[in-house]
Amino acid sequence: MSLVIIGTVAFDAIETPFGKTDKIIGGSATYVGYSASKLGVNPKLVAVVGGDFPQETISDLKSVGFDLEGLQIKEGEKTFFWSGRYHNDMNSRDTLATELNVLENFDPVIPESYQDCSYLMLGNLAPAVQQQVINGMKNRPKLIAMDTMNFWMDISMDDLKKTISMVDVLTINDEEARQLSGEYSLITAAEKIQAMGPTYLIIKKGEHGALLFHGKDMFYAPALPLPKVTDPTGAGDTFAGGFMGYLARTDDTSFENMKRAVIYGSALASFTVQEFGTDRIKSVTNEELELRIAKFKALMSFSESRVLNEIKN
C-alpha cells in the first residue's frame, strides 16, 4: 500500500567524537523515505527544498523509488540547514545552527495522486504544518503516525496536542513522553498519552531500544549493541520509516504485525548510525537486513523455562 511522508529534506553538518562533516544530505523525510524504500515501498514525499538542493540527490531519490511529485523546489531560496555537535556519550547533542530558510513559509500541498494513500507518516515538523497535511487528505488514511520533539512541547503545546489527537501512532523519546504526560513512569505516561488520542505509542530510547504500547499491551525491541556508533543523526527517522514501511508493505495494522514493524525499524536504524548521514542506510541490501533481523531474534529469544513446576513439587 502507498505511504505518504511529510518532513524535512535538509542539509546537515554534524560533529561527533569520531569526526565531522561538511553540509551533507539529511532531513526527517529523507531518512524515513530511504528506510521505507528498503522494504519495497515507494515513498511519496511532501517536502520543500531550495534551488541549492543538488540535482544528483533528487536523481538518487527517484532511482530508489521516491515519488517526488509533492516535493516543492523553491528556486532562488535556500534549503533548510541544521548543524549539531554530539557529546561523548552520543546520546545528547548541542544544536550549533538552525537555518529554516524554505521551511519558514512551508505550505505543504498534497498532490492528487497521493490522495488514495493508506499510510501517512508525519515527520518532525511544526504541529500546525502536520495538521495541515492531515486536513489536506480528502480521505483519512488507514493509519497516521507522527513524530515530534520537545521543542514543539516547549513552544506550541496546544497545537501539538491538537495534532496528536488526530493521529493513530505517536513516536517520541522517553524524556519527551515524560514531558508530554507529566509522568515519570513510562507505563503511566503511555496511558495518559493514549488518552490524548493515539491508540499506539512508541517510546524511543536510543541505545536502549524502543517500547510499543497499545492499551494494556506492551512490546520491547532492544537496540542492537554495535561495535561503533559513528553518527546517531536520523536514527529515529530511520526507525519510523522502517516501522511505517513495514506496515505499508504488509498492509496489516494488528498489534502482532506492529511488533514486527518495530523490529524492522530498529534493524534499519542500526545501520544508519554506523556511518555519517544517509551513507549506510542507502547501501543496505536485503541480505544485510535479513541478517540483522536474525541478530535481533537471537538477542531476544529464549526458550521455555521449566523450573517453576519443579519448585512447586
Residues at the contact surface with a second copy, assessed by CB under 8 A: 39-40, 88-90, 184-188, 190, 205, 208-209, 211, 217-220, 222, 225-229, 246, 249-250, 256, 259-260, 263-264, 286, 289-290, 293, 298-303, 305-308, 310-312
CB–CB of 173/232 below 8 Å?
no
Q: Cell 483519512 belongs to which residue?
A: 140
- Nearer to a second copy by Cβ, of 57 and 188: the residue is 188
CB–CB of 243/266 below 8 Å?
no
As a whole number of angstroms, the distance between CA 274 and CA 225 comes to: 11
The angle subtended at Cα 280 by Cα 279 and Cα 284, nearest 5°, is: 130
Q: Could you give the residue ranges of the DSSP H alpha helices within the chain?
A: 28-37, 55-63, 127-135, 150-155, 157-164, 174-181, 186-195, 235-250, 255-272, 279-283, 286-300, 307-312
- Nearer to a second copy by Cβ, of 138 and 306: the residue is 306
As a whole number of angstroms, the distance between CA 204 and CA 213 comes to: 11
Q: Cell 561527533 belongs to which residue?
A: 16
Q: Least distance (Å) from a second copy to the CB of residue 89?
A: 8
Q: Least distance (Å) from a second copy to the CB of residue 222?
A: 4
- Nearer to a second copy by Cβ, of 37 and 72: the residue is 37
Q: Least distance (Å) from a second copy to the CB of residue 60?
A: 20
Q: Least distance (Å) from a second copy to the CB of residue 129?
A: 31
Q: Least distance (Å) from a second copy to the CB of residue 55?
A: 29
Q: Cell 502507498 belongs to which residue?
A: 2
Q: Least distance (Å) from a second copy to the CB of residue 160?
A: 24
- Nearer to a second copy by Cβ, of 126 and 186: the residue is 186
Q: Least distance (Å) from a second copy to the CB of residue 78?
A: 36
- Nearer to a second copy by Cβ, of 122 and 229: the residue is 229
As a whole number of angstroms, the distance between CA 294 and CA 276 comes to: 25
Dihedral of the alpha carbons of 250, 255, 259, 265, in degrees to the nearest 10? 60
- Nearer to a second copy by Cβ, of 99 and 275: the residue is 275
As a whole number of angstroms, the distance between CA 82 and CA 237 comes to: 15
Q: Least distance (Å) from a second copy to the CB of residue 16?
A: 12
List beta partners, residue 98.
82
Pairing of strands 217-221, 143-147: unpaired
- Nearer to a second copy by Cβ, of 97 and 311: the residue is 311
As a whole number of angstroms, the distance between CA 271 and CA 114 comes to: 29
- Nearer to a second copy by Cβ, of 136 and 222: the residue is 222
| Rg over CA atoms, the chain | 19
- Nearer to a second copy by Cβ, of 110 and 262: the residue is 262
